[in-house]
Structure 1
């Protein structure tokens, strides 16, 4: 028995575009440090439309939005202003608290664009949950590429197959974007207890069983599955060391429920003081914010 569980995304409407939510799942909350995993799109934005995720807070995690199509502009209250394009990594470490927005720039908003990508959150170890917030941009060309016959894998974060990504990780993990030709064998790193494959497009065989796109296959610890692409496919390979239970409420993550309650109070208090001299501040050139959701 190599497969632990198969997860199919649940559709969520984020106002103008839909996502497929994979993690957290009722029967499987985490895979290694991965505590949140959404497939965004593919979505077609007509000219004059775009994404406007207003400033909002995060604590206790690191995030990455990895794009296949389209682009987004990230702004945060550390002062970073960075466009992310396909293959790049915007690595945001929230730690004790960060505020950011994600918006469509003027040119793609005017012309329209296709948006498709994966948004992932990674829990920080308990001893690092209150680390200072950071932001790092890693261009596509800076990420290691691992090739096997009929297979190309880009290492987004962590370590795998003798390579290490420049993204700053706090626990053992791997995160690979893979493109496979038909009949290509797809290996998994062996030195991680929790591992999974998400099929973005195409189809694969796992120990002789067909799995089509839009499915995450989580493997048993120590399993040695035989994974083969049945057609041209795009996959995400991910996993890492097990993490203790995390609590998630809105965009806030912590091992301690009381820490989330404190962050909720801090966001409300900061908003009431127009984010001046408060725990949370807004990114430069931003005047809006997302209010704390009702319970």
Structure 2
């Protein structure tokens, strides 16, 4: 049985940068440990306006950000002093733990020409025992991420384990994240190792149990439900999920199992106790107004 279909909502994170926001959703906050998912692009913008898209330094706690590009490039800088350009097929995995700030800059206009920027960013909530871990960052190259192919099917394991594939991307709870490309007419299944599984249709369309689903939709399934997916056309899917971690509160860029810890993170950012990236510390995103929402789960307001 299909648990829920999530329709991506449009969100704007800056001039020229509208995204499709998939998670969190009011009826399904998380899929496994994944608590946030944005799909940006393809972005078309005039070269002189590229810098308006920059995501200025901003903070995180209690999560890992996972950046993955279909096309283009982005420069990441963080409080640890890391400066890393991410390119298509690579993974930037940043664990915020007790607190980190980072920026994402679009510093190569040619990388955006002709709608060449397209990226996905997810957040993975951390287990309670790791929420106050030291922050860390790792970039993984395409050769470190296993690929499976057969006629009409191409699949890359971004993180975790699925379909017998594993890699060395460091995760802190059981999960999987896959990039799958199917030719029209091909059939595909879901990994069976995990309790919660989601399929985000990035491009194309699929048929499940006789019904067609299209780009911009996420289908969520529980364990024990193993449908076949039929690609109605050439289709790109992002599959993700894993084991639930329990309730998490989310406010702006902060995730925690504790409301009080969210309040502390607000104060820490406002008072400058979360360090800015040493090589990008001349500007930052200030703490937004505290607009109260029920259930302690306001929607995030930034891509990352």
**Shorter-normalised TM-score: what interval?**
over 0.9
Specify the alignment match of 2:39 in structure 1: 39
Q: Structure 1 residues 165 and 45 mapped into 2: Cα distance closer, same or farther (>3 Å)?
A: farther
Q: Structure 1 residues 49 and 149 mapped into 2: Cα distance closer, same or farther (>3 Å)?
A: same
Aligned-residue offset at 1:197: 0.5
1:52 aligns with 2:41: no
**Paired residue secondary structure (1:192):** coil
Query: Gaps (5+ residues) in structure 1?
Result: 271-278
Q: Structure 1 residues 110 and 3 mapped into 2: Cα distance closer, same or farther (>3 Å)?
A: closer
Specify the alignment match of 2:131 in structure 1: 129
Specify the alignment match of 1:79 in structure 2: 81
Aligned-residue Cα RMSD (Å) equals 1.4
Check whether the contact 1:49–1:112 (CA below 8 A) recurs between aligned residues.
no
Aligned-residue offset at 1:113: 5.3
Check whether the contact 2:159–2:166 (CA below 8 A) recurs between aligned residues.
yes
Aligned-residue offset at 1:70: 1.2
Specify the alignment match of 2:293 in structure 1: none
Aligned-residue offset at 1:111: 6.0
Aligned-residue offset at 1:285: 2.4
Check whether the contact 1:66–1:89 (CA below 8 A) recurs between aligned residues.
yes
Specify the alignment match of 1:210 in structure 2: 212
Which whole-Å deviations, capped at 9, do the CAs of 1:213-247 have from their partners, x for residues lacking one? 11000013310111111111000011101120110
**TM-score, with length taken from structure 1:** 0.93
Query: Gaps (5+ residues) in structure 2?
Result: 291-304
Q: How does 1:34-183 map to 2 (within 5 A)?
A: 34-50=34-50, 51-108=53-110, 114-183=116-185
Q: Structure 1 residues 221 and 125 mapped into 2: Cα distance closer, same or farther (>3 Å)?
A: same
**Paired residue secondary structure (1:49):** helix
Moved more, 105-114 or 229-238: 105-114
- Partners of 1:281 and 1:113 lie apart in 2 by 34
Which whole-Å deviations, capped at 9, do the CAs of 1:256-282 have from their partners, x for residues lacking one? 000010011011111xxxxxxxx3111
Specify the alignment match of 2:5 in structure 1: 6
Check whether the contact 1:47–1:112 (CA below 8 A) recurs between aligned residues.
no
1:233 aligns with 2:235: yes
Specify the alignment match of 1:222 in structure 2: 224
Check whether the contact 2:111–2:117 (CA below 8 A) recurs between aligned residues.
no
Which whole-Å deviations, capped at 9, do the CAs of 1:158-187 have from their partners, x for residues lacking one? 111222122110111000001100111222
Moved more, 138-147 or 192-201: 138-147
Specify the alignment match of 1:274 in structure 2: none
Aligned-residue offset at 1:110: 9.2
- Partners of 1:10 and 1:223 lie apart in 2 by 26
Q: Structure 1 residues 10 and 262 mapped into 2: Cα distance closer, same or farther (>3 Å)?
A: same
Moved more, 228-237 or 99-108: 99-108
Specify the alignment match of 1:185 in structure 2: 187
Specify the alignment match of 1:276 in structure 2: none
- Partners of 2:182 and 2:247 lie apart in 1 by 34
Check whether the contact 1:47–1:109 (CA below 8 A) recurs between aligned residues.
no
**TM-score, with length taken from structure 2:** 0.91
- Partners of 1:198 and 1:258 lie apart in 2 by 33
Aligned-residue offset at 1:53: 0.8
**Paired residue secondary structure (1:263):** helix
1:22 aligns with 2:16: no
